[in-house]
Amino acid sequence: MAEEKIGEVVKFFAKPSVAAVKITAGELNVGDTIKITGHTTDLEENIDSMEINNEKIEKAVEGDYIGIKVSDRVRPGDEVFVVKPD
C-alpha cells in the first residue's frame, strides 16, 4: 500500500467526532481510505462522506477545508494521507 500526504488536521470537534482537514495536495474522494498520524494518533478511516460548509461533496481538492467523520480523537497538526492500493 502506498501512502500519499494530502493534508493535515486543523481542528477536531469531539461531538459529533468530526475532523476539519485542510487539503494541501492532490485530491480526496468519497470511498477513499485515509490514514491520520501524529504524536499520539494512528488512525485509518474509510471516507463515507465529506462536507464543505455543511454541504455534502464527492471530491475535495488542494486548498479545500473539509469536514470528515472520524472514529477516534485526532489533533491539530496530525498529517492526513490517502492510502492507495499498489
pLDDT tens column, 17-49: 999 999 999 999 999 999 999 999 999 999 999
Percent of the chain's residues with pLDDT above 90 = 94
Whole-structure pTM value? 0.94
CATH number listed for the domain at residues 2-84: 2.40.30.10
Kindly state the cell numbers that stand for 75. Answer: 489533533
Count of C-beta atoms within a 10 Å radius of residue 80: 25
Q: E-assigned strands of 14-84?
A: 18-23, 27-29, 33-37, 42-46, 50-52, 55-57, 59-61, 65-69, 79-84
What is the predicted pLDDT for the residue at 69?
A: 96
